[in-house]
Amino acid sequence: MRHIVKLVLILGILGGIGLVAYAYVGDLSPERTQVTRPVVLDDG
């Protein structure tokens, strides 16, 4: 039972480190593009 708990803790720590590394190294920024659209106003 001790081995299973130890394995789960090690996997959790490695997963946390991997998540933090991906957040810093991975490109998570959105792609920016300029959008120009005409606006029709009702003079009504």
Where on the phi/psi map is residue 36: left (φ > 0), alpha (ψ -120 to 50), or beta? beta
Q: What is the dihedral of CA 12, 17, 21, 22, to 10 degrees?
A: 0
Question: What does the pLDDT read at residue 8?
Answer: 97
pTM of the shown model:
0.55
Question: What does the pLDDT read at residue 7?
Answer: 97
Q: What is the pLDDT of residues 1-44, one digit of tens each?
A: 999 999 999 999 999 999 999 888 877 678 899 999 999 888 76
Question: What does the pLDDT read at residue 10?
Answer: 98
Question: What does the pLDDT read at residue 30?
Answer: 81
Q: From CA 22, how far away is CA 29, in angstroms rounded?
A: 13
* Amino acid identity at 25: V
Q: From CA 9, how far away is CA 3, in angstroms rounded?
A: 10
Question: What does the pLDDT read at residue 12?
Answer: 98
